[in-house]
Amino acid sequence: MKKTALGILALAGALCVQLASAGPSAASERPVTTKTVTKGEGLTAEFDRTDGCIQTRVSMFGSAFTVRGSAASEKLGVVSVTQTDICTLTTLINGFAEAEALDLRVRDALARGHLRMSMEFTDFADPDNPAVLPMTVNVSFRATAPATTTSAKSRSMSEGIRFVSSRGTKSRPVAVKGTVTLGTQKVVSPDIPSYFATIGSVITKEKTVTR
């Protein structure tokens, strides 16, 4: 269940609400301009640890994006956990959790920040009797390398409609540490840092002019 931060933010940008402004109603021949500006950030992290026969793998993602003119941010958090007894090949935990309320803070040009969220985890280790457990995530991250930036812009015209779009993205590798608690078990602890993690940001601008 791997999703990149930028991939999820691009999808979120495509679902944003457009904000329209038009000229005076008396002049119907005047152009109608529709503008959308979306900004977002997302964190992806992977953890893997083995303690004796018990191997635990955790994947997490958290994102927040805003549309200019909107009062609230759209947020999404996802965590998946698999835990296996590699000596007996028994699945102990196999499930995921989702949240639409979270606290993602990104500071200093993606240099540092934190992700906090609470959610309900559904464990399908016993598919005939899924278990629902509380889960909390409290992790912080720091950059380990410089950021990479990309940008793109496009213009098109069709049947009197002019379309202009641009996108700027920035991503940075980070180290993530903290805790992920599932029920009473810490499936991620501060002494086990992520083996892969990325923080990303994106800003998209779209303008349509209809004559």
Query: Which pLDDT value is given to residue 70?
Result: 84
Query: Which pLDDT value is given to residue 63?
Result: 97
Enumerate residues 6+ apart whose C-beta is below 8 A from 136.
116, 117, 118, 119, 179, 180, 181
What does the domain layout of the chain look like in residue ranges?
5-25+40-151+167-201
The Cα 207–Cα 192 span in angstroms is 45
Neighbouring CB atoms inside 10 A of 129's CB total 8
Q: What is the 3-state secondary structure (H, E, C) of 152-177?
A: EEEEEEECCEEEEEEEEEEEEEEEEE
Query: Which pLDDT value is given to residue 28?
Result: 52
Walking along the chain (211 residues) 10 residues at a time, the average pLDDT comes out as 43 39 49 91 97 97 92 93 97 97 94 97 96 98 96 90 93 97 96 95 93 75
The Cα 204–Cα 48 span in angstroms is 34
The tokens for 54 are 């018990």
pTM of the model: 0.79
Phi, psi of 129 (to 5 degrees): -150, 70
